[in-house]
Structure 1
């Protein structure tokens, strides 16, 4: 039985398809509306001869990890479980999940790696990872950042999605980062669709994401207990 009101998923691939399936399995009609378009860069060659490990802040960086090293026994430190699972699926054998955000990733590295162990490779998107880099360097780690992909904002929102909003067929919108929330709002045509979007419940991954939605006029915003996709999806189970 389909529940009343559809759910818009703003997550880009990788992750969009699996989230769509999860939403539909929970009994909702899912609408794909990725806020970002991810472009993987060409093979990035590391200038570090014997790195101590790879740091992944996003599942989008897994392709870069595959390209940057052939050593699948090199330790990989992932921000969350889904990124860790993607690294394992890519063939990496020693994968550790921080189960959270950048703060928990720093805590994991402090626990697992001695600063003297060697250089860590931080793989990130264009314009991302600089704050984490500075934090780790302040903790005494030798870290080199590599840009392996770019997340570009969507230029517009699909007409079918906008029509569903206008006809009040949407009850929830899932947002997985503050950046994607800002991008999705900018891409949505001003007018009736935006007015109706503000009336939906935004289910978001973090307080920073919530701040973007509240500033844009949303009245109903719910924040996941943990900063991961599964926790965002769990908010649907309690509606």
Structure 2
């Protein structure tokens, strides 16, 4: 079990401690609701945003399946591919988004690019046609390389772009000065990278009392570049495990609860 954060329980004046959520949409609103349900004050601080690239149908003739490594790709694919084209996706949350977008033959891997590669190698044959890898510039190279080494033809299709989205630091600075941040959630290595890249130097020491909760070892390694109270890795690469690591807000102590009523 992770240690209780120093800001657990109500802050002076009844303010709940904050949890920073650095993931973009889709997923940000869902996580905000789940974090609030645990009693925390969910604060949206998306480190990046995804924007669809291109319009019209994607060339998929002869492809045996499309590979999706991020939920950000799903919205960019809706209406651009045959809905019955087999789709192999990185994890369960992305699979739900793909089905909601109208895709009918969706199979989920275990939440990482390595797990997606394992799924392809066990469920697909290289001789059955090319694989379309729907991704953004600079992403998916390791997955494509591994599959190519195993005889697959992989065609990378850039269907979305990733842009920095960190808001001005004033709000984060105010939260840190108040001591009201208990934890920060990082759902990908890229969000961790963008967060640190755009974090003003004068705020880095202010995170010493904040727990960083990472979805993977790779994400945790990036976060290790600055001091945190602790860097905790989710047991499995999904939101449920992230929230399990976060835990609910501790009940306020009797001392913090204020004077008794009449």
Q: Compared with structure 1, are the counterparts of its residues 212 and 171 closer, same or farther at alpha carbon in structure 2 (3 Å cutoff)?
A: same
Q: Please show how residues 193-208 of structure 1 align to structure 2 within 5 Å.
A: 193-208=203-218
1:173 aligned onto 2:177: no
- Give the TM-score normalised by structure 2: 0.84
In structure 1, the gaps of 5 or more residues are none
**Which residue of 147, 168, 171 maps to 1:136?**
147
Distance 1:238 1:134 in 2: 41
- Give the TM-score normalised by structure 1: 0.92
**Which residue of 87, 97, 101 maps to 1:86?**
97
**Which residue of 41, 50, 65 maps to 1:53?**
65
Larger deviation, residues 12-21 vs 213-222: 213-222
Coordinate RMSD, CA, aligned: 1.8
Flag the structure with larger Rg. Answer: 2
Aligned position for 1:189: 200
**Which residue of 110, 114, 119 maps to 1:103?**
114
Cα offset, 1:156, TM superposition? 4.1
Distance 2:189 2:70 in 1: 14
Q: Compared with structure 1, are the counterparts of its residues 176 and 157 closer, same or farther at alpha carbon in structure 2 (3 Å cutoff)?
A: farther
Distance 2:248 2:40 in 1: 13
Cα offset, 1:124, TM superposition? 0.6
Aligned position for 2:14: none
Distance 1:19 1:158 in 2: 22
Distance 1:102 1:46 in 2: 23
Q: Compared with structure 1, are the counterparts of its residues 44 and 136 closer, same or farther at alpha carbon in structure 2 (3 Å cutoff)?
A: farther
Q: Look up the SS of the partner of 1:64 in the other structure.
A: helix
Distance 1:3 1:14 in 2: 30
Q: Is the 8 A contact 1:156 1:187 kept in 2?
A: no
- 1:4-37 CA deviation, whole Å, 9 max, x = no partner? 4210000011111100000001111110000112
Distance 1:171 1:12 in 2: 20
Aligned position for 1:229: 239
Cα offset, 1:114, TM superposition? 1.2
**Alignment coverage as a number of residue pairs:** 236
Cα offset, 1:45, TM superposition? 4.5
